[in-house]
A = this chain, B = another copy of it.
Amino acid sequence: MASTPAYRIADLFAARAKNIAPPTYGTELTKIITVSFAYGLADPTLFPHDDLAAASAEVLTKEAPTALNYGPPAAQLYEQIILRLQAQGITADRDRILIGYGSGQILGLLPDVFVEPGDVVIVEGPTFLGVVTRFVSAGAKIITIPVDELGMDVDALEATLIDLQKQGIRPRFIYTIPTFHNPTGVTMPLSRRQKLVALAAEYGVLVVEDDAYSDLRFRGETVPTLASLDKAGWVLYVSTFSKIIVPGVRLGWACGAPPIIERLAMFKSEGPVGPFISHVIARYCAAGKLDAHIQKLVASYQHKCDVMLEAIAHEFPSDVIALRPDGGFFVWCKLPADISAKTLLNASGEHGVTFLPGTRCYTNGEGDDAIRLAFSYQPTEKIVEGIATLGAVLRQLRQ
């Protein structure tokens, strides 16, 4: 027998796995510092733990044989999701719905279905990189359309689509967060939504509508979802229980054309979501307390948002422009030209205060002129304390 060559496990890795990219979610959450405005975490003091305990106990008493074995998600969860979709003006049946481990899982499956290396994907700038990095990893060529105070600039989108068409390029999809946008908090008005949906049909491009926050509206009028305006099947709607019940159960859903749903399910390689958790959330929803719970969340998040905006008005230099959201989790602040978001983060981090620098909301290096502040997680006194610290650091940077 020949002497054993010095084999290494690393030589077995596929090219795509040679280099390590850290997982997108969760790993950094263990090091929350004094006041973190960095993550879109739900407020744990608002979790409906008693009602979830009641739902869990009922499932384990009445539905254990089904809920604890292998099998599909609870039929009742599909029914509850269909009701939520109807409330958004979207007609659906089970064939149009995929339930996943959070909307993030479903959005992360999009490249499997739609992207070959070099294919064009259109995103907003700024956007939610937690999802967009998945498109980048899959080899998508990212084109960024600017977001202003009315959401994605659909005229710029149209110009891009025309330009791409001239080049013979058909983008795979447009990823948008039209309501309480992450990170800017802005909401796209009806006129832009109508144009966006019309452009999708005209150019044959899928629109992926990420709608994690729209139930958390605390002022202003409801605007129809893109999916409710879409008559031609070019919108894939994605939402989640993470913001309105709890994130820790990991349940989100997509609604769209059956050929898309079938293919997303095909690449969800571990099979359907766990029966147990699907039964628990279905029972919680069916108990009829969710609407009241959402109203409670809305009141709390509105208060936190207002506390943050008021603190910003008092503590930040007047040339920092804070956008006032009508809902969601985030306040976006545009910094004056002499302040860098990264520099601010380094300085405030030394005082125990963090946030998301705008650079982490773009794939193209932009964003050092803005920051995202999440008001969702911190108690109000911490919001006041953290904004005061940030204000002091901003003034120091100018000295």
Contact = CB atoms under 8 A, between A and B. Distances in A.
Interface in A265-319: 265-277
B276 A112 contact: no
A57 interface: yes
A27 interface: yes
A12 B172 contact: yes
Interface string A154-169: 0000000000000000
B11 A105 contact: no
Contacts of A267: 17
Nearest to A29: B71
A102 to B, nearest CB: 6
B274 A70 contact: no
Interface stretch (A36-44, A84-92, A212-220, A385-393): A36-44
A350 interface: no
B274 A14 contact: no
A250 B274 contact: yes
Interface in A19-40: 20-27, 29-30, 39
Contact of A70 (B20, B25, B56, B268): B25
B112 A14 contact: yes
Given A263-B20, A269-B24, A270-B100, A7 B203 contact: yes
A231 interface: no
Given A49-B60, A248-B70, A272 B25 contact: yes
Interface stretch (A113-121, A221-229, A328-336): A113-121
Contacts of A14: 111-116, 119
Interface string A52-78: 110011001100111111111000000
Residue with the highest number of chain B CB atoms closer than 10 Å, among A21, A25, A30, A45: A25
A191 to B, nearest CB: 18
Contact of A29 (B42, B72, B204, B205): B72
Contacts of A337: none
A83 interface: no
A11 B114 CA distance: 9
A5 B70 contact: no
Nearest to A278: B248
Contact of A173 (B1, B12, B72): B12
A312 B53 CA distance: 46
B248 A26 contact: no
Contact of A202 (B4, B27, B100, B250): B4
